[in-house]
Amino acid sequence: MNTRATEPSQSSQLSQLKKLTTVVADTGDFERMQEFQPQDATTNPSLILKAVQQPNYQALVQKVKAAHPGLKPVDLADYILVAFGLEILKIIPGRVSTEVDAHLSFDTSATIHKAKHLIALYESNGIDRKRVLIKLAGTWEGIQAAKALEAEGIHCNMTLLFSLVQAAACGAVNAKLISPFVGRITDWYKAKLGSGWNDVDHGGANDPGVTSVKRIFYYYKHFGIQTEIMGASFRSTNQILELAGCDLLTISPELLAELQANTNPVSQKLDIAHSTAALAVEHIEQLQLDESHFRLQLNQDAMATEKLAEGIRNFCIDTDKLEALLSTSA
């Protein structure tokens, strides 16, 4: 595989990575993201919960509350999400991702309704819907919601994605973008292997989170799927650099800072030209993607099943915490 360096080593790894991959900031802390000049930005309930508790964002929270007196916390949360998205869009040239309430992950019609509401809030503030990605969980119901929304020009970012079958199903409905979770996959295998895990055999190019995204990348490219792939949920810059060449990578400010401070050369690791050969090595064929086959294949993948369920639970918890905070804050 081609592993050419893109720039002399005196350039930061972040600037080198930007030559190969669209870099996205994964944070609700829009003040901090400015220094890294990302193209896009992603948020989720956990990131927004963290941001609204910071003193420097209290004025924004209070402004939203004052503009919507008497609104229930569950509804006020939508305005908070969009308020942060609007501030982010003042900083970045590209798109912001805003997440639908995870409590709706198994309700297609409610997900569609919520997504349209969020888009309407952005559009009422003069934002073109093309600059917003609605984040939906990679459940069967979420994927069907994405199919309907994409048909109306509302673009979706499919999140909590841990398996090839989820990715393939998202591609089949023409979802705009998927966010396969690297770090959470690695976490699962580390916990499963326990003392049997070692970084020599299971890290670097062999990291299970990294190999999962590579498999999706080559599947998409080989079968001509246009959905964008954005690696997410990184635990280290090493995981990020192993996916240089992916369509997009969404990265926390902490890891963006590490990349900016490092000048070691960055090499392209993912290359479309290798998709056919890569799939042949792993004996991957085009998947059957009707509902029964989707559910069975997901069920057969213990890691993906467990991490999807855990991810939905945790986002529900943080959404509840955000709503509780909005109901009690002055």
Among positive and negative, which fits the CA dihedral 117, 119, 123, 125? positive
DSSP string, 205-265: GG-HHHHHHHHHHHHHHHTT---EEEEB--SSHHHHHTTTTSSEEEE-HHHHHHHHH--S-
Burial group, residue 164, by CB count within 10 angstroms (0-12, 13-18, 19+)? buried
Measured distance CA(76)–CA(276) in Å, rounded: 48
Tokens of 4: 């050419």
| DSSP state string for 74-123 | HHHHHHHHHHHHHHHHTT-SS-EEEEPPGGGTT-HHHHHHHHHHHHHHHH
Q: What whole-number distance in Å separates Cα of residue 153 and Cα of residue 151?
A: 6
Q: At what angle do helices 291-300 and 302-328 cross, to 10 degrees?
A: 100
Q: 186 exposed, middle or buried (CB, 10 Å; 0-12, 13-18, 19+)?
A: buried
> Is 135 annotated as catalytic?
yes
Q: Name the catalytic one among 18, 114, 135, 176.
A: 135
Catalytic residues: 135
